[in-house]
Amino acid sequence: MTVSIWARAAIILLLCSGIFASTSMLMHNQMPNDDISQYHAQLFKRFWHGDLEALAQLRASTLASADVYWLQQLADLDDIDSLLKLAELSSDENERIALLKRAANLGSSQGQFLWALEQRNPEQRIALFRQSAEQGYLRAQHALANWYLLKGSKDKAEQWLKLTASSYADDAFALADYYWVRGDERLAVEYFQQALSLGHPRAEKFLRVAEQGAMRLSEMSDTVLAFEPLVTNSPAIDCVMNILPIARSLANKVQAEQFVDQLRADRRLAQLPMCVSDAVWLNSEDFSCNMVRSSGTRRMRCDVHQLADLVTEQDVTHVVVFNPENRAYVDAGVMYLDLLDTYSVFVHELAHFAGFIDEYPMSKTLAQAHCAQRTAPNLLFSGDMFYEPLDRLDYWLGLMSQTTTNDAGIYPARTCNNVQQKAYKLVNSRTFMEFHDTNNIPDIYRRIWRDQIVKRAHWYPIAVNIARWHERADDLQTAQYWYSFAEAQAKAAPAQTIDAGIVDETYQPTSP
């Protein structure tokens, strides 16, 4: 028998519509498995005699039972669902890809998406994603949106995110962030709420911070900063360092709050006489920052002289600036971080406030300065006859007799490798000053860290940074005032801190 043109057209219509699927599924569910093949043969025989309803029943039952023989027969009639089912069942990679390609070429949006996943060429993959997405296939729209986000093309991602935001929490959140940065706060809040309804873990925080908004510096004069010890249930200590976290964007404010919470719960640092206030989000008009070239690289630098009143009126000694983009570094009482930096980077940079320097090979420019000055409390250096400085060596030897650090000693450090200088550290293991994400802060390092802060041995507070700003502006009289201000802080009586020893705590990261 030869199927006529009109009959073939009807077959394809029925295969695509599946209008009799529910009836066939009911019959299939009631049928013993060993009778399925015979049932399929009877359906095909009825179809062969012109019963198009039997073909639709055959299609639905075959898909449900994964009967490979009859799936193949239907695939030969260009049934897209059968092609996709065969691809799912196939253990042969080449066969599976060929089936997906056939389905895609027949116009299947799902086939185009699945075939796209097999492409090694990014351009071919994206072209197939786009074909599928334009037909309304949700997974392809989601993939295409996230491809553009990955490539930094948020404007191209927008049209697809608007289609997927009601189904994917991450997409709703990404769209909210895009609108916020673009300045459309109403739409941003709407999509943050959408992300929250879909269970995004950070949406609630972003909504709360967005509703609070940024502060003006003029408002800060009416705000009393509450500097609290790092671990609030520890015995009281005097604050030597008063650290103010400043955020420069909505996302940075959420990040800063998270870091402050982690810092206040980090028992490894409980004995350090550092205190931190809640983070503030300052309006960009009041606190301006620009990229500058420093130490051979481009870095963010903010006009910290704008914070002068906070320094004098609220006793701010150090500032942490959270930027959308930046390179993590410390510059005379001011730390710069960006959105990609982690809490462990933050802790690493906090140690720089106390004069610690990196234990990985520093760039030649930085190594020439630090390895010549030899002021870093966490390193010794080779001298003509012995380790130098000698007073630091004596100090280290005294600490070694008290520490609980198992591998305390004098071991090679890589800090000065690029200037052919030999440097030495206190432990044989890799510490947080060499690889920040090890979270390894040995007991002996924390003792030195505390002593450095108590004695203000490396005292470069923000007052020094403000002085340098006025120097660059040729306002030498004001610069001298701020240098004198910093010097007066350094000569103040040493902090009266408890000396109950360092608690040997293992760091447990806090979930963001």
319-377, pLDDT tens digit by residue? 999 998 888 999 999 999 999 999 999 999 999 999 999 999 988 888 888 888 889 99
Phi, psi for residue 367 in degrees, rounded to 5: -65, -40
**Rounded to an integer, what distance in angstroms lies between the CA atom of residue 145 and that of residue 343?**
29
Which pLDDT tens digit goes with each residue over 92-103? 888 888 988 988
Residue-wise DSSP of 124-184: HHHHHHHHHHHTT-HHHHHHHHHHHHHTT-HHHHHHHHHHHTTT-HHHHHHHHHHHHHHT-
Residue-wise DSSP of 21-76: HHHHHHHHHTS-GGGHHHHHHHHHHHHHTT-HHHHHHHHHHHHHHT-HHHHHHHHT
pLDDT at 497 over 60: no
**Rounded to an integer, what distance in angstroms lies between the CA atom of residue 106 and that of residue 104?**
5
| Residue 130: predicted pLDDT | 94
- Is the bond preceding 389 in cis, omega lying within 30 degrees of 0? yes
CA distances from 320 to 254, 336, 356 (A): 14, 6, 17
Q: What is the dihedral of CA 116, 120, 123, 127, to 10 degrees?
A: -10
pLDDT at 30 over 80: no
Q: Where are the domains of the chain?
A: 5-106, 142-212, 228-454
Q: Are strands 241-247 and 274-276 parallel, antiparallel or unpaired?
A: parallel
**Rounded to an integer, what distance in angstroms lies between the CA atom of residue 347 and that of residue 345?**
5
Mean pLDDT, the chain, rounded, equals 84
pLDDT at 193 over 50: yes
| Residue 88: predicted pLDDT | 86
Tokens (6 digits) for 182: 């673009």
**Taking a C-beta distance cutoff of 8 angstroms, is the pair 83, 50 a contact?**
no
**Taking a C-beta distance cutoff of 8 angstroms, is the pair 349, 329 a contact?**
yes
User: What mean pLDDT is predicted for residues 98-124?
Assistant: 90
Tell me which residue has tokens 């500097």.
227
CATH architecture for residues 228-454: 3-Layer(aba) Sandwich (3.40)
Strands (E), 326-462: 329-331, 334-338, 380-382, 387-388, 408-413, 423-427
User: What mean pLDDT is predicted for residues 150-156?
Assistant: 91
Confidence of residue 173 (pLDDT cuts 50, 70, 90): very high
Q: Which of 423, 426, 424, 458 minimizes the C-alpha distance to 442?
A: 426
- CATH fold of 142-212 reads 1.25.40
Q: Which of 435, 283, 259, 269 minimizes the C-alpha distance to 338?
A: 259
CA 160 to chain centre: 23
Which pLDDT tens digit goes with each residue over 434-464? 998 888 999 999 999 999 999 998 999 999 9
Confidence of residue 59 (pLDDT cuts 50, 70, 90): confident
pLDDT at 505 over 50: no
Contacts of 199 (CB under 8 A, 6+ apart): 169
Query: Looking at residue 2, what DSSP letter applies?
Result: -
What is the value of pTM for the model shown?
0.78
| Residue 318: predicted pLDDT | 96
Confidence of residue 78 (pLDDT cuts 50, 70, 90): confident
Orientation of helix 462-472 relative to helix 476-490, angle to 10°: 170
